[in-house]
Chain A
Amino acid sequence: MRAALVTRPLDVAALVAEVAHPGTGATTLFVGTVRDQHEGRAVSGIDYEAYGPMALRELETILAEAAERFATDRIVVEHRLGTLAVTEASIAIAVAAPRRVAALEAQRYVIEAVKARVPIFKREHYVDGTRAWVDNRGGSVVATSPTSSAVAP
């Protein structure tokens, strides 16, 4: 198991290679990428920032939980921080397990837990020049200028 917060582009092939093992018959790879729209607004990029020490600790806790539930410790997750352009990967998770069900379910467990618990924050940049902090529930958008300091529509 390995979790990391990184500021370089994610190398997803390297993560797949990292979990490979002769005893595994199923490998899953999840890659989360920056989308070009959010709730109808055109997005040009995203800033990711983290409460680093706690985020890493939560990621490691999530991997330990997944390893116990799904009986494989061949799991790696990397989350990128900094400013990402549309189509760039923000998170990659690779899981290898003896059989496909465990690999798929562990994958799903890790990404859902990351989205719910890990203290990582994102600020979307819109094509119209505005920016806003966004959360994973799809709401609670706080605009941060340059054009407005009020709650975004």
Chain B
Amino acid sequence: MGVPQRCRAMTTTVLLFASWADAFGPSLAVELPEGASVADLLDVIGSRAAGRPLPKPMVAVNQRYATPDQVIQVGDEVAIIPPVAGG
């Protein structure tokens, strides 16, 4: 009661790959305030990764690269994309 809706928390399952999956497993449950952006997610993820030799990632939301200001919605498929190396 009296708590603004945007302060509610949501738990987002984030998919991980390559060096990030080696460090944390194939996915990570991250608690974010409702209305959190991709930049907010990167802050949380970055603090978990502190001290580990992990490359700076991109973020994909629903299988598309996301900009830092994109808001993450409940139910979105979120993935941390380390530097790509296809070809």
Interface residues of A (CB under 8 A from B): 32, 48-51, 53-55, 57, 79, 90-91, 111, 114-123, 133-137, 140, 142-144, 149-151
Query: Does B73 sit at the interface, judged by CB under 8 A?
Result: no
A interface, over-half SS: mixed
Are B81 and A51 in contact (CB-based, < 8 A)? Answer: yes
A-B contacts, CB under 8 A, total: 85
**Which residues of chain B have C-beta atoms less than 8 A from A57's C-beta?**
63-64
Evaluate whether A136 and B19 lie within 8 angstroms (CB atoms) in the complex, with A51-B79, A119-B60, A142-B53 already known: no
Q: Which B residues are within 8 Å of any A CB, using their own CB? A: 15, 17-19, 22, 53-55, 60, 63-65, 79, 81-87
Q: Which residues of chain B come closer than 8 Å to A48, judged between CB atoms? A: 86
Q: Which residue of A lies closest to B15 (CB)?
A: A51
The answer to whether B55 and A140 touch across the interface, beta carbons within 8 angstroms, is: yes
A133-B18, A142-B19, A151-B53 as given contacts; A51 in contact with B60, CB under 8 Å: yes
